[in-house]
Amino acid sequence: MQVLDKKIIFVGGKGGVGKSTSAAAIAWKAAGDGNRTLLISTDPAHNLGDIFDESIGGKITDISDNLAALEIDPAAETEKYIKGVKENITNVVQSSRMEEVNRQLDTAKASPGAEEAALFDKLISIILEESDRYDKIIFDTAPTGHTIRLLSLPELMGVWIEGMLKKRQKTNENYTQLLNDGDPVDDPIYEVLKVRKDRFSKAREILLDGSITGFVFVINPERLPIVETEKAIKLLDQYHLHVKTLIINKLLPDEAEGEFLLKRKEHEQHYLDMIEETFVKQEKIYVPLFPHDITEKRHLEAFSKYYLEG
């Protein structure tokens, strides 16, 4: 699987297709190959802990040789994020206005997009600050829509912060002229925004660099995952994020017998043809349906064997 060369790998796809399992198997394989690997779940409904039979939670936890995992809780991250903003602002806002500002921030916390923003902030921290410690960082993402919004954020936030910075600069220039004959004024808000903008651009560069970051989508040979994934891939293309690998998971095994299963296999073949036609550019990895759920390390071992092919 070519994507195993990348340092940062995002695993996406529709609900229930096998994202967490695939991400865990990729991480398992990477760690087995001797890479220091960090596996991260950004899905509020985590199940990495179940697969590794270990409680993981919000701290990076060692779960096996070369392998550590982290489950990010979007609600807790939002809480932390808003708290951070409040602290930042305390120094720059008049104390008489602080109550009002806090109230507005609490409203912001509950607004749509707040969790994504906080999650994205955390993601950036990991990409920028853990990259030296790990050879591979694998992200198990939440179902499709969520991931796309998350990954399109650097673009949107970049534009937004750019606008804020310009406005701020203009204000400062006016202020400067007014106050002290052209000596620039120190503006802590400008500084905070500038630091954030620089972090966004750095993260964006890494996400857009196809030699560092790879995107994998998991699908099943069924109509809806195919249709939805086709849309998602097109949308991500618009953000210059190119999905180059597909894992087609839960194929009926070759040894399936009996009239019922043979009929199912015919249907499946139809969808496999559709996959070949729809996803011409992507590398495709085929993984069979196992007779059991993937809940143990030895299952992951068997699952990840399929990554050697293709």
Is 150 in contact with 119 (CB distance < 8 Å)? yes
Spatial distance between the Cα atoms of 296 and 53, rounded to a whole number of angstroms: 8
249 binds Mg ion (CB under 5 A): no
Q: Please name the residues in contact with 50: beta carbons below 8 A apart, sequence gap of 6 or more.
A: 295
20 binds Mg ion (CB under 5 A): yes
Q: Which is nearer to ligand ATP, 23 or 203 (CB)?
A: 23
- Coil, strand, or helix at residue 205? helix
Residue 122's binding partner among Mg ion, ligand ATP, none (Cβ under 5 to 8 angstroms by kind) is none
Spatial distance between the Cα atoms of 52 and 234, rounded to a whole number of angstroms: 33
Please report how close the Cβ of residue 107 comes to ligand ATP at its closest, in angstroms.
Answer: 30
2 CB burial (10 A radius; 0-12, 13-18, 19+):
exposed
At 249, phi and psi to the nearest 5? -105, 155
Please report how close the Cβ of residue 148 comes to ligand ATP at its closest, in angstroms.
Answer: 14
- Number of neighbours of residue 233 by Cβ within 10 angstroms: 23
Give the binding site for ligand ATP (CB under 6 A).
Answer: 13, 15-21, 43, 45, 47, 143, 249-250, 287, 289-290, 293-295
Query: Taking CB positions, which residue lies at the least distance from Mg ion?
Result: 20
22 binds Mg ion (CB under 5 A): no
Q: Which part of the chain contacts Mg ion (CB under 5 A), choosing from 11-19, 60-68, 110-118, 151-159?
A: 11-19
Residue 144's binding partner among ligand ATP, Mg ion, none (Cβ under 5 to 8 angstroms by kind) is none
The residue behind tokens 């985590």 is 46
Considering only residues 27 to 56 of the shown chain, the ones binding Mg ion according to CB under 5 A are 43
Rule CB under 5 A: which residues touch Mg ion?
A: 19-20, 43
